[in-house]
Structure 1
Amino acid sequence: MKRILLAFVSLGLAALLILGGVTAAKASPSYDQEVTETAKLYKGTPFKWGGTTPKGFDASGFTKYIFKTTVVNKDIPRTSAAQYKGGAAVVKGKEKMGDLVFFKTNGKSISFVGIYLGNKEFIAATSKGVRIQSLNTKYWKDSYAGARRYLP
């Protein structure tokens, strides 16, 4: 009996030594948090028509840059209208952090996009630079066109 117990203990110790370097898999990153926190790092970046880099962004250039350079590593379309056509539609009021929110600022077609932060706020490259905006303001409420989800 002692021999059997000793054999089991020896096998257990051997297994620990062999598998000692193995660790549990890390939890997958929180894509929504990665996207929103990274976007916030660019607050104050100047607006540049056609801009797609931290030297200057336009609205869709900003969202494209954030989605490509974060853990999401997703190459979304370049224009806000094209971004609106992609992704999964989100019911108004059901937006989640990291969703793209779209606006018809010219009254006719999709012309502006931002990244939803939660609590009725979004971040976007406005004419005054990258800023956090409230969906509760009349301007954004009146021009809101919908949201799309690109995150996994």
Structure 2
Amino acid sequence: MSDQPTPDPTMTRIGEAVQLGRSGAPAEARDLLTALWNEIGPTGDPLHRCTLAHYLADLQDTADAELAWDERALAAATDLTDDRAQRHHGTLQVRGFLPSLHLNLADVHRRLGDPTRARAHLATASSLVGHLPDDPYGELIRAGIQHVDEALAAGSTDRLDSHPG
């Protein structure tokens, strides 16, 4: 199986919207991703739903809205198979998505003042980091787990500087 991506117009559209958000137009990116979510629907392709919800969470104006999108991303991941992910890119495995998804949920629960749920998701993220590669992405997630853990220990509900939003 090739590690080269298979062209997927929906994933391309998601990527373009994400780049738009990162280039300083988060409201436009949010609108594009929301419209795309409406096209895909809540029972559409799980890779599309997971990816889109994961990025859309970071573009929300409130932690409550972010939580809803983070929960959608995790729910979609439970419907996603390695086979489907690998049709997009040969190296993808669902278990590699899970530490980040649980980290995001830990952080948003922390910011919403729910340390019990935050710690539960953080523990799950920590238990899954062994599935991450030793590369910049893996290092980013491991550092994020440490930052959220430190913020929880300090009782902080502030947005972390490392948060992508």
Do these two structures clear the TM 0.5 threshold for a shared fold by scoring above it?
Answer: no
Structure holding more helix per residue: 2
Structure holding more strand per residue: 1
The TM-score normalised by the length of structure 2 is 0.27
